[in-house]
Amino acid sequence: MVFAVGLLVGNVPEGLLSVITLALGVRALVRRGAVVKRLSAVETLGSTDVICTDKTGTLTENHMRVSIVWTASGEQHLDGTSPGRPGDVAMRDLAVAMAACTNAQPDSAGGTVGDPTEVALLEAAARLGHRLTTTDRDQDRRRQFHFDPVLKLMSTLDERDGSVWVDAKGAPEAVIPRCTKIAEPDGCLHPLTPEERRVVEQRVDTYARQGLRVLAVADRRLQAEQPLPERRESAELSLTLLGLVAMLDPPRPEVAAAVADCHTAGIRITVVSGDHALTAAAIAHQLGIAGEQPMVVTGSKRSAVGTLDDKQWSAVRASVRRHAGRRAAALLPVHPPSRYQYRYAELNLLAPSIDAL
């Protein structure tokens, strides 16, 4: 009997049990819609220390809805039924510009398809009283400078009212520095003073702390004899700030529980986002990824296309070691993700998670 048992055990390959365990894990992942290219990836995933996750579309639903619109006349909450303010020229111009500077298109079901942000802008413009058909928008467009993820800005050249206008939208930190004037409720323009810039920036921070995604909208009327700008550097300057648009992108309902499971397993979560730092921090706090004051590393224009300097990376390393085993999060800028993964991997085994996958 002893000989038979020994012979049976000797015929079983040494790694069979581990292979069976991994195979069962792969089958469980497949049932939940996960794509597994190599069996060894499951084993690596089980050793993960840190998950690097995008925010929009991964932590949130990527279903935008404009909740607040702000101009020099004040803010207006859009509840789906509120009309635009009669006689508020700045609000009207804001609706016109943000509808023109989009590429969303109608679908066969009578809705609108395209980037969720642009779909939300078209819907908000309609609630403010400006219903622009995509056919008219495309016919009036003379040129487009596509959204640049480094500049965080998009602009179009559109013909209306007998003139050509530059319509621009983008991150407030990208649009506001390019503005020299601000539109008043009566349509008059006056120089954008340093004090007014601070007021606008404080308003941006207020919305971002609520977890709202904030865009700034601006325009500029070209002179009749002025040729169309060939480069965006010539178009996106001396703009008039029309206002701010704050959008709500609700967190996915299942994310909070998944985050709690990660913390229980000793896995730290890092949010890698191109959004405003305060917006990303607010969403991270809402989902339990981080406390009220997470470590936030923002990339300057230089580091967005290159690397963080040694001092910044030393701060990241020190914080990771200091918060090891506790609920903490580092929010890193999004460009370029591979570079941050390599530098962060000096301390951790990473599992990047992005909505594109």
191 and 181 in contact (C-beta within 8 Å)?
yes
- Residue 29 token pair: 């992942």
Phi, psi of 230 (to 5 degrees): -85, -25
Pick the catalytic residue from 54, 88, 93, 219. Answer: 54
Q: What does the angle CA 17 – CA 50 – CA 297 come to, to the nearest 5 degrees?
A: 170
Query: Is 93 an annotated catalytic residue?
Result: no
The DSSP string of 185-209 is: TTS-EEE--HHHHHHHHHHHHHHHH
Angle between helices 277-286 and 194-209 (to 10 degrees): 20
- Cα 236 from Cα 204, distance rounded (Å): 21
Nearest alpha carbon to residue 61 among 140, 149, 135, 120: 120
168 and 175 in contact (C-beta within 8 Å)?
yes
71 Cβ neighbours under 8 A, 6+ residues apart: 88, 90, 91, 94, 183, 185, 242, 243, 244
250, amino acid identity: P
Residue 239 burial by CB count (10 A; 0-12/13-18/19+): exposed, middle or buried? buried
- Cα 66 from Cα 94, distance rounded (Å): 13
Q: Which residues pair with 215 in a beta bridge?
A: 245
- Count CB-CB contacts under 10 A for residue 131: 12
Cis peptide leading into 336, omega within 30 of 0? yes
Q: Which residues are catalytic?
A: 54
